[in-house]
Structure 1
Amino acid sequence: MLDYIIVGFGLSGLSFVEQLEDHNKSFVVFENASQRSSRVAGGIYNPVILKRFTAAWNVLGQMEKAVPFYKNIETKLGKQLVTDLPVLRRFNSIEEQNSWFEASDKPILKHFLSPDLIPNTNEALDVPFQYGKVKQTGKIEVEQMLTSYANYLAQKDSFVQSSFEYSELEIKESYVVYKDYKAKHIVFTEGFGVKNNPFFNDLPLVGNKGEYLLIKCESLELDAAIKSSVFIIPQGNDVYKVGATYDNQDKTPEPTSSAREELIKKLDMILKKPYQIVGQVAGIRPTTKDRRPLVGVHPLHQNVYILNGLGSRGILIGPTIAGQLYEFIENGTPLPVEMDIKRFGN
């Protein structure tokens, strides 16, 4: 008898598995690699919504938990996964500069927004109104982390590369059975793949497709992430990730020419040097209309749970809400009402 079966292994799955590891729980993970939003994400942890200069939801608690969480995984796996990386917001006008100054005076945002303007010294970039700097930012090598962690679990016989067949799940009063596995609890952490899950597909998960370009530009020489109408994120070896798009209509997993054209148009407004496109990636973010996660227990089956809806801020949100779900299951600690799936009448 295992303690848990976990279905899905993106940022939400990894965040919950790390809780189980910390508490010496037994588990097995099923992952079919059908959902790629975590793996193709920009990897930036950033406490501020830079379009509106507002603090992210519950940002103080999430920041306090997230960075040590990933550094612990870094130590466990013996991989360089966490890097401090400045984020510079390119201003489009004097009005935006003034809005930045106003925001930097607010109690929460003063922790994260530098009040000093930073002039542009990079000839490759068009920055007529200087930058604002976001503090306490960095980058997680998400794809490398997920791959290395999956290998770590496979060596412990705790990882199964396979699609989950919902019809094979038997739900008993105090445990579940799936093929040769028996566990006290099952947690679905499938991202947008939950749309195929008969236990939770009635939840209002919207899904938002995001695409990034990978470019090579030897003359750019960035040591910070630049946020304008797109992010430009250094990847090393003169390669940069540029994105992302937001499309809540297209739910296909493949990269599109329309997104490519949109990103090129936005990039060309800031980057003045020649570059080469070396790749394009796409994924469907698990988003909700109220921009809050989907966490909780099935209304009929008290050993079936969901951890989903992390949206575009999964790096920051994942560790906190995974810990809250764990405490809910193991100790009966109530979930915050704003993320509990009961808010939809479930």
Structure 2
Amino acid sequence: MKVDYIVVGLGLAGIAFCEQLRQAKKRFVVFNNASQQASLVAAGMYNPVILKRFTEVWMAQKQLDIALPMYQGLEALLGLQLDYKMNVYRRLASVEEQNAWFTAMDKPNLEPFMAPKLVKNTNDLINAPFHLGAVQHAGRVDTAALISGYKAYLLKNKQLLSASFNHAELKQRGTEVSYTDIRAQHVVFCEGFGMAQNPFFNYLPLQGNKGEVLTVRVPNLHLKDAIKAGVFIMPNSDTDYYVGATYNRFDVTNTPTQKGKDELLRKLQVFLKRSPSILKHEAGIRPTVPDRRPLVGSHPEFKQLHVLNGMGSRGVMIAPYAAQALYNYIENKCPLNPEIAISRF
């Protein structure tokens, strides 16, 4: 089999890069062994404001300009609703936080996203005496439905190989690479935290950051938007909600923990007046980088090998931008933004 690209991994980064290839009518196959769960268990929120400090997410508008049309196209391709628009309400805990909200709102990069008036809470089950600040142009992508639907699409088109990729079997042959009976021009590794086992790119400073999330049921909550206050609660259906997330740099297993569940419930009970019923408790390892920027680029020696990784907790927003940048770098020789290029290491 001869293709233009082999893609290794099918989380948010892998799907975003496959979409670049599909739209450019490139031939490609995908290896996916489902060993990494970060994209699968992610709540999928996209939010252009860092609500802990009231600062802009790095290149937020640029990321949204690329990501939202991609998800809209995927909805049409897969016949699924994936993008659920909603506001994200920051619960303000004091007059000082109210003042900080108004100060931040006046910054040019934040003004499009932060509503100028505070919202008075009218939900009897939410404790928010100092009101809510509304972040606009936010929402949730159903990452589980996206990954499941995209897998089915690739299987139908005979482009998905549900198998582990053995790096030792990859051979360099002039301007091509070969793997078993597949010949390709390029290999793009989108392995998430699995990159730690990749002998070509494990020199990069990828760190694992475990995140745990709950799916809960809260009768009569009737919440249509997300609320953030230490943790977020975000609608998943009319009665079910996501609660997340924890951050743990020391445990790099996909096993949910009692400690993580207790932390989420403790922070939730600060502003939720009714105890939830827990329907599901999941965990995944986010691939993070010390400087909080993705890892994008080509191997310094093996020029046909490329990496797309390090999306952290904001993969829904940043993966489409990073995938487009890598594709344009490979195919059109467009320079990478130095902040995401692996040459910085």
Report TM bin, short chain. Answer: over 0.9
Structure 1, unpaired ranges of 5+: none
The within-5 A match list for 1:64-143 is 64-143=65-144
Q: Which amino acid aligns with 1:58?
A: M
Instruction: Give the Cα–Cα distance (whole angstroms) in 2 for the partners of residues 41 and 243 of structure 1.
Output: 9
Report the equivalent of 1:44. 45
Q: Deviations over 1:284-341 (max 9, x none)?
A: 0010000000011011101000000011111111111111100111111111111111
Deviations 1:146-175 (A, max 9, x none): 110111011110001111111111122211
CA distance in 2, matches of 1:156, 1:178: 20
2:125 is paired with a residue of what secondary structure?
coil
Instruction: Please give the secondary structure, in 2, of the residue aligned with 1:253.
Output: coil
In the TM superposition, what is the alpha-carbon distance from 1:221 to its structure 2 partner? Answer: 1.2
Is the aligned partner of 1:323 residue 2:324? yes
One-letter amino acid of the structure 1 residue matched with residue 254 of structure 2: P
Matched, 1:283 2:312: no
SS of residue paired to 1:236: coil
Letter of the 2:163 counterpart: S
- Preserved contact between residue 234 and residue 241 of structure 1 (Cα < 8 Å): yes
**What is the identity, as a one-letter code, of the residue corresponding to 1:117?**
L
Shift of 1:220: 1.2
Matched with 2:268 is: 267
2:147 matched to 1:154?
no
Contact 2:213–2:245, Cα closer than 8 Å, also in 1: yes
Q: Contact 1:87–1:224 (CA<8 Å) still a contact in 2?
A: yes
| 1:29 Cα deviation from its structure 2 partner | 0.1
How far the C-alpha of 1:253 sits from its partner, in A, is: 1.1
Residue 213 (structure 2) pairs with residue 235 (structure 1): no
Q: What amino acid sits opposite 1:11 in the alignment?
A: L
1:169 is matched with 170
Equivalent in the alignment of 1:32? 33
In the alignment, the residues of structure 1 paired with residue 93 and residue 173 of structure 2 have an alpha-carbon distance, to the nearest angstrom, of 58
- What code does the residue aligned with 1:25 have? K
Q: Distance in 2 between matches of 1:274 and 1:315?
A: 30
Percent identity at matched positions? 48
The one-letter code matched in structure 1 to 2:110 is L
Q: Which residue of 2 aligns with 1:221?
A: 222
Q: Give the secondary structure class of the aligned counterpart of 2:126.
A: coil
Q: SS state of the match for residue 135, structure 1?
A: strand
2:246 counterpart residue number: 245
TM score, norm. by length of structure 2: 0.98
SS of 2:255's equivalent in the other structure is coil
* Partner SS for 2:216: strand
State how far apart, in whole Å, the 1-side matches of 2:26 and 2:135 are: 38
Alignment partner, residue 332 of structure 1? 333
Per-residue deviation, 1:187: 0.3
CA distance in 2, matches of 1:333, 1:102: 38
Question: Which position in structure 1 is the counterpart of 2:190?
Answer: 189
**Cα offset, 1:274, TM superposition:** 3.0
Amino acid at match of 2:315: G
Cα pair 1:87 1:134 within 8 Å, conserved: yes
Structure 1 runs of 4+ aligned residues shifted over 3 Å read none
Q: Does residue 1:304 correspond to 2:293, yes or no?
A: no
TM-score (norm 1): 0.98
Q: Post-superposition shift, 1:52?
A: 0.6
**Would the aligned equivalents of 1:219 and 1:273 in 2 still touch at CA under 8 Å?**
no
Cα displacement (A) at 1:82: 1.1
CA-CA distance at 1:31 after TM superposition = 0.3
The 1-side partners of 2:50 and 2:173 are apart by 44
